[in-house]
Structure 1
């Protein structure tokens, strides 16, 4: 009789995921309702998460000056990642203090402009800086913002001393006719080597950040400083500019109103922003269900 072979011990069953220590949530289309407000239910859920020791970080494509929508709901932590990861902001005490800026280098921005002009005639540009936005004459008017200069993008990206103390956070490229997703694919194809291309608007508006700058990379840097692993992060989003963050986080939720690409790429789906989708997940999470 041949000797009995040793039995392989059964693989241990995977344990439950770590208790979340940080919630990272997009704003427009995710936390905010269509009218730009935060519902009472969502306010209560964020406060309950903070009370339970879970940090909340707002991660948005919005510029710093548009953070008034959530400044009343920061509950003491007060950190936000703005401009698709290009700005880390302290909102405590009702302020908007820039902690870190990850700029788009001027040569990269100009190279992206040249490539997009050749590939997409009719494109127009705006430049998002730390203290404001400037745009070309054909760019759609910035209704929310006082614009300090209207000029060609080449002039707006001119060498110092022009805006020497205001790093470029994003280059915005708008096309009046192209399909938004097709424009994004084109931008990445012809100019992706110069920066990170994404979109969050329903129109053909591209947002270009510096190489390696995204919601995900800045959130990862912040979590490293706090000693929080990606497995301890729960993230919410709805648009292509959220995809990298949703892929990076240990637990990712797509809103019911998400772009089809986001729904297809994310296993967990919650209700829409109009139906308090973020609050519903937080409530269940705190209840342990």
Structure 2
């Protein structure tokens, strides 16, 4: 990509936001200049819709988002999911059955209603949504799989994140996509073919943008499909080794405004 990108895609956590969950004034100003130049910016995240306000409240204007690792395309101007790719209850049931059989002690949760609501088993640690009415413990294991879900989440004690993800992938091969975006034993499960790349590609098709014209930033394994697909994949300095290995370029860490620094260089700001 020797010319300016036609679209900029960026992950949120570990990429756009700093360790304290804030977006720096420099980054906010740079994103404004990029969009002001006519190049759209899209958030591509594992986050559910209900966690996007933490970002939008810091920006001068909300920008579109590919949420739930590609399962939900969200228009913040109308507060509407314009495209979703949920897993049906029968698929969720097969996933849960396999995980419970092959990983004793696994704890499950699901993102439902386009990721506006979450249902979780009693052992699930609720860390950021404590007391929210959209988050509820299920009354029985079967309730986890009772409604379509855009994402299933699996935890298993203190297992190494990469090892646990590999274990889940092995159990679910051909049945679902499994990835992770944290260094704890948490795996995120989506429908077959649903990844950040698939969600971003769907968004780009609606806007006449091809992969070669996309500049993308990421830091964790759930970003790998997007970074492999994009014409210019950029890893954060703080990125997971697997991301650093495949990226065409690197930038500073998220705490050093790496996204802003790279965009300033590309656009000549």
Per the shorter chain, which TM-score range? over 0.9
Look at both structures and tell me which one has the larger radius of gyration over its CA atoms: 1
Aligned-partner Cα distance in 1 for 2:10–2:42: 7
The partner residue of 2:79 within 87, 93, 96 is 96
Q: Secondary structure at the match of 1:194?
A: coil
Cα drift, residue 227 of structure 1? 0.6
Structure 1 residue runs without a partner (length 5+): 1-15
Q: Secondary structure at the match of 1:228?
A: coil
Aligned-partner Cα distance in 2 for 1:177–1:70: 29
Aligned to 1:195: 176
Q: Say if 2:11 is the partner of 1:26.
A: yes
Alignment map for 1:152-171 (pairs within 5 Å): 152-158=140-146, 163=147, 167-171=148-152
Aligned-partner Cα distance in 2 for 1:59–1:42: 16
Q: Say if 2:167 is the partner of 1:186.
A: yes
The partner residue of 1:271 within 252, 260, 267 is 252
Moved over 6 A (4+): none
Q: 1:171 to 1:241 in 2, by over 3 A?
A: same
Aligned to 1:55: 40
Q: Say if 2:108 is the partner of 1:120.
A: no
Q: Say if 2:137 is the partner of 1:149.
A: yes
Aligned-partner Cα distance in 2 for 1:128–1:136: 12
Aligned-partner Cα distance in 1 for 2:171–2:216: 31
How does the TM-score come out when normalised to structure 1?
0.87
Q: Could you report, residue by residue, the CA deviation over 1:51-76 in whole angstroms, capped at 9, with x for unpaired residues?
A: 11110000000000100122146665
Q: Secondary structure at the match of 1:254?
A: strand
Contact 1:137 1:152 in 2 (8 A): no
Aligned-partner Cα distance in 1 for 2:98–2:234: 35
Segment of structure 1 superposing worse, 148-157 or 60-69: 148-157
Q: Secondary structure at the match of 1:148?
A: strand
Q: Could you report, residue by residue, the CA deviation over 1:16-68 in whole angstroms, capped at 9, with x for unpaired residues?
A: 63421100000000000111111000001100101111100000000001001
Cα drift, residue 114 of structure 1? 1.4
Contact 2:56 2:62 in 1 (8 A): no
How does the TM-score come out when normalised to structure 2?
0.93
Cα drift, residue 150 of structure 1? 2.6
